Structure 1
Amino acid sequence: MYRRLGNDEGGEAANAASQDKKLLKAILQKNTLTGQNTIKRSTPHIMFCVAIIEDEKRYSDLLREYIDRYAGATGEQFETRVYFDPFTFLDNYKKTDIIFMDIMMPGMDGMETSKRLRKMDADVVLIFVTNMSKYAIKGYEVDAFDFVVKPVYYEDLKIRLDRAIAKLKNKPEQKLLVSTGSSTLVLRAEDVRYIEIFSHKLTYHTTGGDVTAYGSLKKLTAELPEGQFLKVNKSFIVNLKYVTRIEDFDIYLGKEAIPIAQKKKREIEAALAKFLAEGKI
């Protein structure tokens, strides 16, 4: 018997399946007997997000070519974005894993760009690209991971990518600090199945039991791992790792059903399909 959690934004079934839904059906299998996740896929790979900030197209094209070559040789997957000026990069910044930053750029150099970047993201792997090795020393001021000297050769880039990816794959697990009023608890984000929101009261439904705490939705959203947790209606945030299926306007975590806001169904299907395809569970 399935347990359905409070419905405040359910709706009628969609008239036509989207491409995202077709992809989701292809990779998400239902186990009606146990309610367990029976996803079948090839060897999982993490999708790494890479940004290249380089004002000269010949260099950005070369870096992109090398990254594609590295992906073909190793099986790693990359989403690569190119920015030809630092202002566009900073104004449109979104969470990134690896950044290749040119040092000498008009308007704002790579050092100043990196200082501003660090105010937004303290964790991104930053690799300087420069034709003057003396600038590498200054990289310590902005916690640069490494540098590569122009002209860039594939083997040089491969060494940096090997090290950067090893660092990212060995990142410590993400923890959440949860204030219950009388004490502060540390929860592993991976252990949180879903979060129930009511005003400023947050209930964390974890694999080890429920924890009730207090805080703001905005702060909570900023702390959760990007791409893994998704708000499915105004009262619930779900860890996609534990989703076993979507049926009509319900999302299932084993035998528990949480209603989906009608207007968010396609977004949720797309997010889940992407999460599973990237092999993040």
Structure 2
Amino acid sequence: MAKLPIALIQTRTPASPGAAFAHVEPLIREAAAGGAKLILTPEATNFLIQDRAARDAVLETQERDEAVRKLRDLARELGVWLLIGSAIVRSGHDGDDRAANRSLLIDAGGAVVASYDKLHVYDVDLPTGERWRESAAIRPGDGAVVAQTPWGGLGLTICYDIRFPQLHRALARAGAMMIAVPAAFTVPTGEAHWETLLRARAIETGCYILAPAQAGAHEDGRRTWGRSTVVAPWGEVLAKLDHDAPGVLFAELDFEAVTRARTAVPQLTHDREFTPPS
């Protein structure tokens, strides 16, 4: 199997779709110029807004969202596959005004070939005093997705999903050879857990883990951890941006490494039923 040149885009996404596209476009062009055939952006690529009223003022369906439309055109122009790590869009569910946090995989012709709504929403009170209630604004999805690409299966997850190993195992067992983890991690949890969780999910699944991240101080007041990372199937960090500034991270995936890892530790075939503890 041929090797796959990829690029992760690290962003500091602004608070409107038009400004968000203007921010990410040159980074994607840089990635394509550097030879990447699959390019991945972070969670909330189309805008990053905490305030519910301000968010609702710019919220659109995925078909009408300005950033999504322009990103599809850009993928077609550049002839690359592009994963919008997520776009915040109208969920399309009648009677529920919450948004969807949705990954969109775009092929080299600009078509949306797969989508995934974030399964696990982040509701927490942090020791720092930060309080997050993602469930108030985001309608969680209800299904896992392995998207088919010319290079193999790509499992789709978003941010907080990284803490649920059963999801990643299910993706690997369904044919994923690489798993996307686009994120907007907070600084405290990013510093403590980001790389450890990414490496653990790679080791448990024998997959490449591709984690493009939001980074730095945003217009809406939040700070995100950055440190976009690619982890190989044996658990070693293949490439990493060791900062919280916008940038492009290049890597090359050799899918023979997936075979080697899963042959050495065939854990995906060794499940056993058991009685849970009482």
Q: Same fold (TM over 0.5)?
A: no
Larger Rg: 1
TM-score (norm 1): 0.29
TM-score (norm 2): 0.29
The one of the two structures with greater contact order (alpha-carbon pairs below 8 A, sep at least 6) is: 1
